[in-house]
Structure 1
Amino acid sequence: MKRLLALAALVTAAPLLAAQPIEGRWMTAEKDAVITIDDCGSSLCGKITRFLVPPPQGADQRDVNNSNASLRNRKLLGMPVLTGFSKDDDVWRGQIYDPKSGKTYRSIVRRKSANQLEVKGCIGPFCQTQVWTKAR
């Protein structure tokens, strides 16, 4: 009987370890943009879909800080900043691009609650964490 109860506890606990969905519209921690996360082929990606604070060159702002000179002419609006995200146990893993620095980092994202998304950008073992909130 104890084994049966232990097995039942493991089976019911397993879904809690699964990554919670991260799709939707999210306001960045700096409250300057809305990122929409959705399917992009075989993975998830997040694109800048709205500026809440206009960038220096307005809605037509280009990716001027990109370390790849051939990408500096692309518009920020509509550009993917989260790419290649796939489930890994209770988190999503992929890459995050920071248009302000022009750098791409390893990223880990997880749903903290219905209205909060924890977004980490990492270099090696060091990560910086932001909390994004559900956009209206």
Structure 2
Amino acid sequence: MSDLLLVVTIAGERVALPAAAVESVVELDTLIPVPRAAPHIAGLSALRSRVLTVVDCRRSLELGASDRPSGIREAAVVEIDGHHYALIVDVVEDVVEALSDPVPVRAAMAPGWERASAGMVETESGPLLLVDVAALVSGAEAKAA
């Protein structure tokens, strides 16, 4: 396998997002709140004349709110079904190559990580959890529906 992965940190954990799903990496400084939005939706932001729905990955994974409620936030921009989302992460690290196909995780994980896991992939820096970006966007409410 030679897929590229974007290595990010969410809630202190180094994980991988499929680089093919990521349009860009940005810094967001302004969020507009959305009344009555799902708890994992941090708000709306604008990027190059596009409206982005901003997803707090920590809340989506049921790990509490982001440590940085205001100020500049790092985010990976993804498109799902024609809609653009910015996934707030703690840190964007690097792009690396996957050295293996995803394999099932053989360990107990918190419910949010379990829901968003697409398996473990091997990289030069060791194994990383591959995260399903659609599961992050859907949030915990999707599993209840």
Normalising by structure 1, report the TM-score: 0.25
* Structure with bigger RCO (C-alpha 8 Å, 6+ apart): 2
Higher CA-based Rg? 1
Normalising by structure 2, report the TM-score: 0.24
